[in-house]
Amino acid sequence: MRGASARDVSFAQHTASGLPSPYLLFLGDTTEAGYAKTAFGLRDWAADRCIGEYALPHATVTTGLARLSPAEARSRGAQSMVIGVANSGGFIADEWIPALLEALDAGLHIISGMHARLGEISVLREAARRAGRQLIDVREPPDAIPIGTGLKRRGKRLLTVGTDCALGKKYTALAIARAFAERGIDSDFRATGQTGIMIAGSGIPMDAVVADFAAGAAELLSPDGADDHWDIIEGQGSILHPVFSGVSMSLLHGSQPDVLVVCHDPTRTRLLGDEAFVVPSVDEIIDLTIQLGRRTNPAIRVGGVSLNTSGLTQAEALAAMAKESVRLGLPVADPIRGGPDFATLIDACLGN
């Protein structure tokens, strides 16, 4: 990467490194796995920092980690309880407050990626002060984000996009970044949501940025780089989601990707959190994203498709990937399953 610019300095100042761990993952009262993606993301990509989980009695979602009370987790070395929920609107439910107070009383810090700020809840603020614990909000964008320019930057960029929310854009970006590193390719994973930031230790929570500055935030996130350097950028939302398309558009224009990887869950038919709408097809997302992405990068192309086949058997997954690959004329893989299909997808992303 070239010498630090004002943008590089701003980005460097916004890191989440040093979060006190190990973690106890708090699942609240969640009954929909898609709303516990922070907990699952930390379990899967930061397992060495996760000791167990804690949930309210009527929660039905589990990460499969040990069920521990805050006191039990503290006795095993936990330093913080992380709110592992990513609900629509990013609110902290009143029903969670007793559990959060219990964690503070047990000696745990609280880490949150919600839109609601922990320190603005007076009962938590006072309890943290008494216990000498921290209330840490990760969903905080850096100061002085510039307006986007739309001007092309050096370096190469890959953006994961999706047909819906919470279906694998982060996992796909992390898996691709890991595959690039294993091949000795100079690359960085660029986190754009609270979970990715907790995993990577840096990033910008795009959905917490004022709309006029969102494209600029995407530019700030992936600054000028060496010609052979890749930024692997975590996508957000879906360009055809009636509620969350704004952040998707800002990421598309601001990150100016050279390569897209489209993420899709073949078992999902209705949009998460907005079931009145059907999930758009992969074809629709490819066509529209390419059309709009050409505004800031005329050379944008599709590297392939990432299928979330967690709801399928191995045989069903292989059949679905093969069928979609033939239909689309593109590599199709499940990055979590890996294998030859994923290697082919990586080759296509690199232009091999």
The H or E element spanning position 127 is helix 122-131
User: Which residue has 């006191």 as its token pair?
Assistant: 71
Q: 115 and 92 in contact (C-beta within 8 Å)? A: no
For domain 17-137, give the CATH number.
Answer: 3.40.50.720
For the stretch 55-60, contacts whose Cβ atoms lie closer than 8 Å and that sit 24 or more positions apart, written own/partner, are 55/26, 55/27, 55/28, 55/29, 55/30, 56/27, 56/28, 56/29, 56/95, 56/96, 56/99, 58/29, 58/31, 59/27, 59/28, 59/29, 59/30, 59/31, 60/30, 60/31
Read off φ and ψ for residue 6, nearest 5 degrees: -60, -35
Q: Which of 3-12, 54-63, 80-89, 268-277 has the lowest mean pLDDT?
A: 3-12
Tell me the C-alpha distance between 309 and 111, whole Å: 30
Q: 15 and 142 in contact (C-beta within 8 Å)? A: no
Report pLDDT digits (tens) over 302-332: 999 999 999 999 999 999 999 999 999 999 9
CATH superfamily of 156-350: P-loop containing nucleotide triphosphate hydrolases (3.40.50.300)
Query: What is the DSSP secondary structure assignment for residue 273, as one 8-state letter?
Result: T
DSSP 66-88: -B--HHHHHHTT--EEEE----T
Domain range summary for the chain, segments of one domain joined by + = 17-137, 156-350
Q: How far is CA 96 from CA 38, 70, 108, in A?
A: 16, 13, 15
Report pLDDT digits (tens) over 15-71: 445 789 999 999 999 998 888 999 999 999 999 999 999 999 999 999 999 999 999
Tell me the C-alpha distance between 209 and 140, whole Å: 8
End-to-end alpha-carbon separation of the chain, Å? 23
Q: Which of 60, 81, 61, 58 is nearest to 70 (CA)?
A: 81
User: Which residue has 């921290």 as its token pair?
Assistant: 134
Q: What is the pLDDT of residue 274?
A: 87
- Tallying the residues shown for the chain, one arrives at 352
Q: 217 and 254 in contact (C-beta within 8 Å)? A: yes
Tell me the C-alpha distance between 160 and 155, whole Å: 17
Indicate whether 174 pLDDT > 90.
yes
Q: What is the pLDDT of residue 14?
A: 34
Tell me the C-alpha distance between 224 and 152, whole Å: 9
Indicate whether 1 pLDDT > 50.
no
Indicate whether 87 pLDDT > 90.
no
Q: 82 and 76 in contact (C-beta within 8 Å)? A: no
- Whether 156-350 and 17-137 are alike in CATH topology: the answer is yes
Query: Could you give the 3-state DSSP secondary structure of residue 339?
Result: coil
Tell me the C-alpha distance between 112 and 117, whole Å: 8
Tell me the C-alpha distance between 133 and 38, whole Å: 22
Report pLDDT digits (tens) over 179-212: 999 999 999 999 999 999 999 989 999 999 999 9
What mean pLDDT value characterizes the chain? 93
